Amino acid sequence: MVDAAPGNDAVVSASFWTRLNENRTVLGLWFMLPAAAFLIFFLAYPLGLGMWLSLTDAKIGRAGEFIGFENFTWLWGDSVFWLSVFNTLLYTVVASVIKFAIGLYLALLLNNNIAFKAFIRAIVLLPFIVPTVLSAIAFWWIFDSQFSILSWALIELGIIDQNIDFLGTPNNARASVIFANIWRGVPFVAITLLAGLQTVPQSLYEAATIDGASKWDMFRHITYPLLTPIIAVVMTFSVLFTFTDFQLIYAMTRGGPVNATHLMATLSYQRAILGGNLGEGAAISTAMIPFLLSAIMFSWFGLQRRKWQQGESDD
């Protein structure tokens, strides 16, 4: 008796189990499980936790209680938070546009047959290889209020007569950190676009040349449309990296002078980790999500439209 009962059950469940596992949909789910687990544990869970924290008054080392949208209401009236939103948007838009322009220009140049091509391509990558913190410290010296090499050179040349206060006044400081970000980000854009350029079939250019197209026509009607998917990817990444930048700002200005260069990421760190208000810091991070999502949406649904890719105008 004792043996028989589980035996009967086993027959029933085994057949159900087998049938279940022969179902293609179920099998598919099984195969997706490792990837799903990976995504849930390492992406969805931290993201969800961050959003949950933003609804609590958690402090470092203490769980905190649910307080609804209190953190967000407070941030809504916080001038420093809005300043950081403004700074982040300014930083992202200006740096991304310039990075794209310079990157595309460099990619077009490097796509030509020039001497020492491989060597020059390697050099272009350098700023991207140097650890960000190191380059940030180098820029911190370059923009130092007393020991700036730029100020020194301009004074020696007789162009100015006192040091430029690069990081001490709001607009100078913003320009300086944006410059550093551009310097660092251009290689990524340039090299990726260069890779894209090499996938454009040479025959299209030959045909266009026979038809008497000018250089600009070729760029406008062949290169640019065929490059659009790559541009969409590159610029999405570039915008995401720039929007969430932390190291450059933290090493160069720590958000100063008087919060003029605080980005949302650095303000979040200052409030959450240094100030101990995890909930409020998490709320600042959570507030970044809509901006990031809209950047992604714009790239994927906008730039990837088939008509754009075929060089036609939007209708």
Cβ-Cβ contacts under 8 Å for 20 (sequence gap 6 or more): 26
Pattern 212-251, binding to another protein, x per CB under 8 A? ----------------------------------------
Residue number, 165 or 218, with CB nearest to another protein? 165
Cβ proximity to another protein, 65 vs 217, nearer residue: 65
Q: Which stretch binds another protein (CB under 8 A): 53-61, 108-116, 236-244, 295-303?
A: 53-61
Tell which residue, 85, 94, 186, has the closest CA to residue 135: 186
Size of the site for another protein (CB under 8 A): 36
Half-sphere exposure of 50 (CA within 13 A, CB side): 18
> Could you tell me which of 72, 53, 195 has the C-alpha nearest to residue 124?
195
Is 86 near another protein (CB under 8 A)? no
Phi, psi dihedral angles at 228 (to 5 degrees):
-50, -45
Please report the DSSP string for 94-143 in residue order.
HHHHHHHHHHHHHHHHHHS--TTHHHHHHHHHHHHHS-HHHHHHHHHHHT
Please state the closest distance from residue 170 (CB atom) to another protein, in A. 7
Nearest to 261 by CA among 153, 143, 148: 143
Query: Which residue among 51, 52, 59, 308 contacts another protein (CB under 8 A)?
Result: 59
Query: Of the two residues 223 and 266, which places its CB atom closer to another protein in the complex?
Result: 266
Stretch that binds another protein, among 2-10, 183-191, 216-224, 267-275 (CB under 8 A): 267-275
Judged by beta carbon, residue 23 or residue 145, the one nearer another protein is 145
The structure tokens 């901006």 sit at 291
**Whole-angstrom Cα distance, residue 121 to residue 292?**
31
Q: Which is nearer to another protein, 71 or 223 (CB)?
A: 71
**Residue 78 or residue 292: which is nearer to another protein going by CB?**
78
Indicate whether 104 belongs to the interface with another protein (CB under 8 A). Answer: no
Q: Residue 231: count other Cβ atoms within 10 Å of its Cβ.
A: 21
Closer by beta carbon to another protein, 38 or else 141:
141
Q: In one letter, which amino acid is 166?
A: F
Site string for another protein, 118-157 (x = CB under 8 A): --------------------------xxxx----------
For residues 307 and 314, is the Cβ–Cβ distance under 8 A? yes
* Residues binding another protein (CB under 8 A): 59-62, 74, 77-80, 144-147, 162-163, 165-170, 173, 253-259, 270-271, 273-277
